[in-house]
């Protein structure tokens, strides 16, 4: 039997994984970045096949990983985690430097980064796992803690977007509020839609200090559709 | 340029990955366990090729992952992280249940576990990455936090053993105590050797409340060799 609550006990950080070049790049928020060997240092990053960045990594055979600060702003998380590079150029307005491999490295709310050359691409089903050899790293801020997924969920009240390997359909979790109908709510500032039907928690049950994950607008400003 | 300090910003949990069967099993402490897809739920676990458990996973094509409690005892971490199944049967004296696939699941200091059937094995160099489909999970204790690698390093003063993907040779880190000669110290209780030459911190610089990672013996009891 599978109790999906067990998955919430696994520890992850939160990262911006970017690829592309100076003309056009893209990045997404990932929680599945991890070292796979120490000699030589190689990291793996899992990327949904539907993710706009997947194409960039396949083309440039390189990617960068920016490790987010615990106090990363909801603007940065919203832009890289909830918007698609199909719709906007995420590098515009971001603090970006270009690495040895030519890929963009996002520096907004970043405490350290590393840049990898892809040495192996593994098809794991819905996702591609890019395994990259580290060619360049830098510590940007040694005094700040890294944002963890637990902190993001518990303190920042964040949720996994649909393309994440750790996304859990709420129908698989215990239903605590059976007597409510699913509704949709729209952020008046950025248009983000909170859909009860696809989230683990109904909008009405979110805490009062919850804010739009895409732009930081307060819960009380959301409009019921 | 590679600054190895940047790697310490990556977030990991700590897990016991086990395999084998009722007759003979083995487990090791891993920090690189992560979900790679959500539909179906699949997890990857990195295992050094020299690791005794690698053979068990290859033979039984299944493994279990026990998520450790933040207050996991140094006995459990020592047994599974610093001893080899070549020398002892780690399942003897451990609280173990056997899963649907027949693999042992270690329950000591475990807050939840999952059991996976291997669907893919990827050779990533020094390590094998086993990708497994989740067949069974259980939450053992929902009130306790998971042990993170950061907590293990900062609060429990633990270090990465040599077979870990995140092991960093201290020669790659900034040397802070150049004027000391490397020495070796032995734990009088279990024989664990602390060798300045392979650790990131010299024994003399460890805090007074540091204990033997293998058995919990106090620093002051260690014998200089």
Residue range B121-137: mean pLDDT, rounded: 95
Q: Which residue has the tokens 């709510």?
A: A185
Structure tokens at B169: 């040779």
Q: Is residue B121 pLDDT above 60, yes or no?
A: yes
For residue B146, the chain A residues in CB contact (below 8 A) are 9-11, 150
Structure tokens at A69: 């600060």
What residue ranges do the domains of chain A occupy?
A: 4-139, 178-225
- Of residues A8 and A80, which shows the higher confidence score? A80
Report which of B61, B40, B95, B43 is spatially closest to residue A34, judged by C-alpha positions: B43
Residue range B27-32: mean pLDDT, rounded: 92
What pLDDT sits at residue B172?
Answer: 66
Residue range A204-213: mean pLDDT, rounded: 87
Q: Is residue A175 pLDDT above 60, yes or no?
A: no
Q: Which residue has the tokens 């003979």?
A: B24
Query: What average pLDDT is seen over chain B?
Result: 88
Q: Is residue B12 pLDDT above 50, yes or no?
A: yes
Q: Is residue A139 pLDDT above 70, yes or no?
A: yes
CB contact under 8 A, B35 and A32: yes
d(CA B104, CA B92): 11
- Of residues B88 and B199, which shows the higher confidence score? B88
Q: Is residue B176 pLDDT above 50, yes or no?
A: no
Stretch 141-160 of chain A: residues touching chain B, C-beta under 8 Å = 142, 146, 148-150
Give the C-alpha distances (Å, rounded to integers) separating A33 from A30, A44, B44, B218.
7, 6, 12, 35
- Beta strands (DSSP E) in chain A are 15-20, 25-30, 33-37, 42-48, 62-68, 96-98, 104-106, 110-123, 127-139, 184-186, 193-195, 223-224
For residue A37, the chain B residues in CB contact (below 8 A) are 46, 124-127, 165
- Please name the fold of domain A4-139: Pnp Oxidase; Chain A (2.30.110)
Q: Is residue A169 pLDDT above 90, yes or no?
A: no
Least confident window among A43-52, B5-14, B47-56, B115-124: B5-14
What pLDDT sits at residue B220?
Answer: 85
Residue range B137-148: mean pLDDT, rounded: 90
Residues with Cβ within 8 Å of B206's Cβ and at least 6 positions away in sequence, in order, are: B157, B219
Query: What average pLDDT is seen over chain A?
Result: 88
Local confidence band at A197 (pLDDT 50, 70, 90 cut-offs): confident
Burial state string for A72-87 with b = 16 or more CB within 10 A and e = fewer than 16: bebebbbbbbbbebee
Report which of A135, A131, A132 is spatially closest to residue A122, judged by C-alpha positions: A131
Dihedrals phi, psi of B206, to nearest 5 degrees: -70, 145
What pLDDT sits at residue A177?
Answer: 40
d(CA B130, CA B59): 12
The residue count for chain B: 225
Residues with Cβ within 8 Å of A19's Cβ and at least 6 positions away in sequence, in order, are: A25, A26, A27, A53, A56, A57, A59, A60, A62, A63, A64, A103, A104
Give the C-alpha distances (Å, rounded to integers) separating A2 from A5, A206, B3, B40, B60.
9, 26, 41, 11, 21
d(CA B97, CA A62): 43
Local confidence band at A22 (pLDDT 50, 70, 90 cut-offs): very high
Q: Which residue has the tokens 């396949």?
A: A58
What pLDDT sits at residue A172?
Answer: 66
Examine the predicted complex and report whether its ipTM is higher than 0.85. no
Sheet with A193-195: strands ordered across: A193-195, A184-186, A223-224
What pLDDT sits at residue A174?
Answer: 52
Least confident window among A94-108, B40-54, B142-156: B142-156
CA A207 to chain centre: 22
Q: Give me the percent of chain A exceeding a pLDDT of 90.
A: 50
Kindly report the CA angle at B155 between A77 and A10, in degrees rounded to 5? 45
| CATH class assigned to B170-225 | mainly beta
Local confidence band at A201 (pLDDT 50, 70, 90 cut-offs): confident
Q: Is residue B122 pLDDT above 70, yes or no?
A: yes
For residue B162, what is the nearest residue in chain A, using CA coordinates? A38
Closest in B3, B126, B150 to A137, CB measured:
B3
CB contact under 8 A, B40 and A125: yes
pTM of the model: 0.77
- Please name the fold of domain A178-225: Rubrerythrin, domain 2 (2.20.28)
Q: Give me the percent of chain B exceeding a pLDDT of 70.
A: 93
What pLDDT sits at residue A217?
Answer: 81
Report which of B155, B202, B156, B160 is spatially closest to residue B183, judged by C-alpha positions: B202
**If you compute the radius of gyration of chain B from its CA atoms, what whole number of angstroms results?**
18
d(CA A47, CA A49): 6
Least confident window among A123-127, A149-153, B204-208: A149-153
Residues with Cβ within 8 Å of A55's Cβ and at least 6 positions away in sequence, in order, are: none
Q: Is residue B181 pLDDT above 80, yes or no?
A: no
Q: Which residue has the tokens 């430097």?
A: A97
Least confident window among A3-7, A63-67, A188-192, B190-194: A188-192
**With an 8 Å Cβ cutoff, is B168 touching chain A?**
yes
Q: Is residue A171 pLDDT above 70, yes or no?
A: no
Which residues on neighbouring strands pair with residue B63, listed in sequence order?
B116
What pLDDT sits at residue A191?
Answer: 79
Residues with Cβ within 8 Å of B149's Cβ and at least 6 positions away in sequence, in order, are: A11, B11, B12, B13, B14, B31, B166
Residue range B69-96: mean pLDDT, rounded: 90
């Amino acid at each position: 039997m599978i109790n999906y609550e067990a998955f919430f006990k696994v520890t992850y950080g939160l990262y911006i994984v970017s690829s592309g070049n100076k003309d056009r790049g893209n990045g997404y928020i990932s929680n599945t970045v991890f070292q796979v060997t120490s000699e030589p240092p190689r990291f793996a990053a899992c990327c949904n096949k539907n993710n706009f960045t997947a194409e960039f990594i396949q083309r440039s055979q390189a990617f960068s990983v920016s490790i987010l600060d615990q106090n990363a702003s909801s603007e940065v998380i919203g832009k890289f985690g909830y918007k698609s590079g199909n719709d906007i150029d995420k590098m515009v307005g971001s603090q970006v430097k270009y690495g040895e491999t030519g890929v963009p490295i996002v520096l907004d709310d970043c405490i350290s980064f590393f840049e990898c050359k892809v040495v192996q691409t593994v098809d794991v089903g819905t996702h591609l796992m890019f395994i990259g050899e580290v060619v360049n790293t830098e510590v940007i801020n040694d005094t700040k803690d890294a944002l963890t997924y637990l902190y993001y969920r518990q303190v920042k009240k964040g949720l996994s977007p649909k393309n994440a390997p750790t996304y859990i359909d709420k129908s698989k979790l215990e239903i605590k509020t059976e007597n409510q109908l699913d509704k949709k709510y729209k952020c008046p500032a950025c248009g983000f839609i909170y859909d009860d039907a696809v989230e683990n928690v109904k909008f009405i049950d979110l805490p009062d200090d919850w804010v739009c994950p895409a732009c930081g607008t307060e819960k009380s400003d959301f409009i019921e559709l």
